[in-house]
Structure 1
């Protein structure tokens, strides 16, 4: 089972990473000013990860692939790591879809 891990950054803002069962980070959030906003971001990931059209697939100048998960309003709620190619990126998207809905939330504050 995956998990959402909430941390505070050096600026005191809240961020979360969605980790797969193997512990690898599969999605990272933006910075949130409050814990409540961070929790809302997690709920948005749970909801929007079920819809493949919410995943924006991109290719960087170096040829590597990555994706952003967007909310209904088009705002990015999570970003993946860089992948060597499209196949591995699609596996990352599949992992987000699989893990987000029932991932536990843990704090590392």
Structure 2
């Protein structure tokens, strides 16, 4: 089963997308966007940048858990992962974004 982007609304009314792997697990979450069009542009940016491993920044939280961000060519963060127990899990998450994002369908739950 292929991955998909889900567009939803936050409690403050902003639009947000998540990228889910084929198994339904969330692998990337966006910031909040005031307009749906901006959210859609964010999805296109993920599709464009996910194939470049250099766009992923591997990070570690203060509590020792690992996570990553995906950045656009201008350095702006497009999305962030969940927290992983270790670097191996984080690296698997990066591979999953690289595999799922380019061809993922969009499921808009705001309509």
Question: Which TM-score tier does this pair reach, normalised by the shorter chain?
Answer: over 0.9
- Map 1:15-30; keep pairs closer than 5 Å: 15-30=16-31
Instruction: Provide the C-alpha distance between the structure 1 equivalents of 2:14 and 2:61, rounded to a whole number of angstroms.
Output: 27
Count residues in correspondence.
Answer: 109
* Corresponding residue of 1:66: 67
Q: How far is the alpha carbon of 1:108 from its aligned partner?
A: 1.4
- Map 1:1-109; keep pairs closer than 5 Å: 1-109=2-110
Gaps of 5+ in 2: none
Aligned Cα root-mean-square deviation (Å): 0.5
Q: How far is the alpha carbon of 1:80 from its aligned partner?
A: 0.1
Gaps of 5+ in 1: none
Q: How far is the alpha carbon of 1:48 from its aligned partner?
A: 0.5
SS at match of 1:41: helix
Q: Which aligned runs of 4 or more in structure 1 are off by greater than 4 angstroms? A: none
Instruction: Provide the C-alpha distance between the structure 1 equivalents of 2:95 and 2:53, rounded to a whole number of angstroms.
Output: 9
SS at match of 1:72: coil
Q: How far is the alpha carbon of 1:61 from its aligned partner?
A: 1.1
SS at match of 1:83: coil
SS at match of 1:38: helix
Instruction: Provide the C-alpha distance between the structure 2 equivalents of 1:11 and 1:83, rounded to a whole number of angstroms.
Output: 27
TM-score scaled to structure 1, two decimals?
Answer: 0.98
